[in-house]
Amino acid sequence: MLSKRIIPCLDVKDGRTVKGVNFVDLKDAGDPVELAWQYAQQGADELVFLDITATHERRGTTIEMVKAVARQLNIPFTIGGGITSVADAEALLNSGADKISINSAAVRNPQLIEDLAKAFGVQFVVLAVDTKLVNGRNMVHLNGGRLITELETEDWILKAESLGAGEILLTSMDHDGTKNGFDCSLLDKVARSINIPVIASGGAGTMAHFTDVFLQTGVDAALAASVFHFGEIPIPDLKEELKKHNIPVRS
Alpha helices in the chain (DSSP H): 32-42, 63-70, 86-95, 104-108, 111-120, 153-163, 184-193, 207-216, 226-229, 235-244
Residue type, 119: A
Q: Calculate the dihedral angle through the C-alpha atoms of 9, 45, 78, 199, rounding to the nearest 10 degrees.
A: -70
Identify the helix (H) or strand (E) that includes residue 118. helix 111-120
Question: What's the confidence (pLDDT) of residue 195?
Answer: 98
Question: What's the confidence (pLDDT) of residue 33?
Answer: 80
Per-residue burial over 12-45, b if 16 or more Cβ lie within 10 Å, else e, is bbeeebbbbeebeebeebeebbebbebbbebbbb
Q: Considering the candidates 11, 88, 176, 188, report the single residue annotated as catalytic.
A: 11
The length of the chain, given as a count of residues? 251
> Which has the closest alpha carbon to 52: 156, 137, 171?
171
Residue type, 225: A
Helix (H, G, I), strand (E, B) or coil at 176: coil
Cite the beta strand spans of 143-195 per DSSP E: 147-152, 167-172
One digit per residue, the tens of pLDDT, for the chain of length 251 reads 789 999 999 887 776 777 655 545 566 666 878 888 899 999 999 999 887 565 556 655 578 878 888 888 899 999 988 899 999 999 999 999 999 999 999 999 999 999 999 999 999 999 999 999 999 999 999 977 789 999 999 999 999 999 999 999 999 999 988 899 999 999 999 999 999 999 999 999 999 999 999 999 999 999 998 899 888 999 999 999 999 999 999 98
Q: Considering the candidates 51, 88, 130, 220, report the single residue annotated as catalytic.
A: 130
Q: Give the C-alpha separation, 22 to 247, whole Å.
A: 29
Q: Give the C-alpha separation, 145 to 175, whole Å.
A: 13
**For residue 158, is it within any domain?**
yes
User: Do residues 47 and 55 make contact, with C-beta atoms less than 8 angstroms apart?
Assistant: no
For residue 11, indicate whether it is catalytic.
yes
Number of domains making up the chain: 1
**For residue 250, is it within any domain?**
no
**For residue 251, is it within any domain?**
no
Question: What's the confidence (pLDDT) of residue 145?
Answer: 76
Q: What angle do CA 45, 27, 39 make, to 5 degrees?
A: 20
Question: What's the confidence (pLDDT) of residue 23?
Answer: 47
Q: Give the C-alpha separation, 128 to 136, whole Å.
A: 21
**For residue 191, is it within any domain?**
yes
The distance in angstroms from the start CA to the end CA of the chain is: 15
**For residue 159, is it within any domain?**
yes
What range defines the domain where residue 226 resides? 5-244
For residue 183, indicate whether it is catalytic.
no
Question: What's the confidence (pLDDT) of residue 26?
Answer: 60
The CATH number of residue 62's host domain is 3.20.20.70
**For residue 249, is it within any domain?**
no
